[in-house]
Copies of this chain bind each other. A is one copy, B any other.
Amino acid sequence: MSRAAHQSADVVRLRRLGIDTYQEPVIYLSQKSPVCRAEGWSAQSRIAVRAGSSIVATLNVVTDALLAPDECALSDVAWTRLGANEGDLVHLSHAPPVESFSAVRAKAYGRHLDPAAIERIIRDIVAGLYSDIELAAFLTAFTGAHAALDEAVALSRAMVDTGERLYWGHAPIVDKHCVGGLPGNRTSIVVVPIVAACGLTIPKTSSRAITSPAGTADAMETLAPVDLDLAAMRRVVEREGACIAWGGRVRLAPADDIIISVERPLDFYSHTQVVASVLSKKLAAGSTHVVIDVPIGPTAKVRSDDEAGAMEELIHGVSEALGLATRVVRTDGTQPVGHGIGPALEARDALAVLQCAPTAPSDLRQRALLLAGHVLELGGAAALGAGCERARQALDSGAALAKFEAICVAQGGLRTPPRAPFVNTLRATRQGRIGAIDNRRLARIAKLAGAPRAAAAGLEIHVKVGDAVTPEQPLITLHAETPGELDYASRYLQANPDVIALAEG
């Protein structure tokens, strides 16, 4: 049978144009294509594309001769998700209206959602039915104080139920997580080997940066491969009792990874979203006992003890409903932790602590010991009050470093973090004392310098709050992989010299 014989108007031939639209699937069709005319489609229409599998994509209409009337093209993410091949015939139709989005609208209007409605939303998000603007509306509607405890529980549960789940066959399975907002706070890379060296199982999955200059996965990736699939992760944990893997690959709570694609550019931070994200990933990873680090400071994500109290209540409420034993540890969030901000720079700090090097930042070491101590106590590997000392022994004896190296080898081999070719140092213009450090704007500067996409990019901060400084003393060194980014970050820093506030000394 000739192709013409079975090709109807709604069947078109795929052509690869090679356009990267990030996470949003886009389909390109000529305005002269019969299907576009017959169906009355225009730019922004949502189209179901069916070959073997099926996806929903947003239409961009080609108004020039780029595509023939019987051709269509897909953006790279759409191409990959469909498993498309050049020349494939695909069937196009109107995507059915996304019924679950009416619940997002209801939420935006201030109404309360039942668990079934929330589950339908999350299923549709995981199925790729939400456009980027619909994801943005979902995220905004659930932000801030607008979600109730039972909604946060339903959201967490739906996020677990729509992905893979790990079972380990024994307990306790421990974990730790920081709710974020503190640049340089890479304690996991130190805590995980300490805890594993003390005999507990800790299958740590972590995210890439969401709104920060580096996530634990980004920093760890400069030390060892983190892109493990579920089988590889299981092998590493069964061998070493621990891993530090990227959560996105293993499809634990995959809704979260889709939501992040919009959360990152919007730079949104919502208690509900964070708690649901963190606890759903822990539950999906098979954890039973979890320590949550909540840094508090005026420019941290949690700004006050009141806010921390609300966050803690939400964490405990959701944990209880999910059957997780959780301990919240409030920590100092008034300034960055360690010297470096950015994937490689933070990895260097963590490695120095594990090596007990003289240059190791003492604040990172102290926080790691504190948190590891809590995990050891919660997981029953140390008596109440004795966790921190047990952790110190594991670190100072070299057991934690040996365990870390073994984890890296199991994950595919230890690496040396890269160094950035372009640097620029800001110096003190006068004598004084460091009054305050603005975490948020520091994080922004590190991102402008290219972090986390550019692994070597970010900044080093050479002072702590309270330090006396003299003229010409280095305050911050910017690191970038390209001159454009160094310049971009430098300009922002020049316009915001009070990121490090100098008080009279």
Residues of A near any B CB (own CB < 8 A): 10, 16-22, 28, 31, 35, 37-40, 42-44, 60-66, 75-76, 94, 97, 101, 105, 108-110, 131-137, 139-141, 143-146, 262, 265-270, 444, 448, 450, 453-454, 457, 480-485, 488, 492
Contact = CB atoms under 8 A, between A and B. Distances in A.
A270 B140 CA distance: 14
B134 A266 contact: yes
Contacts of A492: 97
A39 B268 contact: no
Contact of A37 (B21, B61, B97, B482): B482
Contacts of A143: 108-109, 141
A370 B174 CA distance: 70
A481 to B, nearest CB: 7
Contacts of A135: 133
B61 A110 contact: no
A44 B267 CA distance: 13
Given A133-B133, A450-B40, A20 B145 contact: no
A31 to B, nearest CB: 8
Contacts of A266: 101, 105, 133-134, 137
A39 B491 CA distance: 14
Nearest to A94: B488
Copies in the complex: 2
7 contacts: A19-B28, A19-B66, A38-B482, A94-B448, A94-B484, A108-B143, A133-B266
Given A17-B66, A64-B18, A146 B110 contact: yes
Nearest to A481: B40
A37 B110 CA distance: 44
Contact of A18 (B17, B66, B457): B66
Contacts of A64: 16-19
Given A20-B63, A108-B140, A109-B143, 5 more contacts: A19-B60, A40-B481, A133-B135, A134-B266, A137-B266
A110 B141 CA distance: 11
A457 B43 CA distance: 19
Given A61-B20, A66-B17, A110-B146, A38 B483 contact: yes
A492 to B, nearest CB: 8
Contacts of A21: 43, 60
A39 to B, nearest CB: 4
A117 to B, nearest CB: 16
Contacts of A76: 63
A483 to B, nearest CB: 6
A22 B38 contact: no
A211 B209 CA distance: 36
Contacts of A40: 450, 453-454, 457, 480-482, 484-485
A40 B454 CA distance: 8
Nearest to A449: B40
A483 B34 CA distance: 12
A18 B94 CA distance: 23
Q: Which of A16, A22, A480 has the most CB of B within 10 A?
A: A22
5 A-B pairs with the lowest CB-CB distances in the bound complex, closest first: A18-B64, A39-B484, A140-B140, A109-B144, A136-B136
Q: Which of A19, A38, A109, A146 has the most CB of B within 10 A?
A: A19
A304 B40 CA distance: 36
A185 to B, nearest CB: 21
A137 B268 CA distance: 10
Nearest to A42: B453
Contacts of A482: 37-40
Contacts of A484: 10, 35, 38-40, 94
Given A109-B145, A268-B108, A62 B18 contact: yes
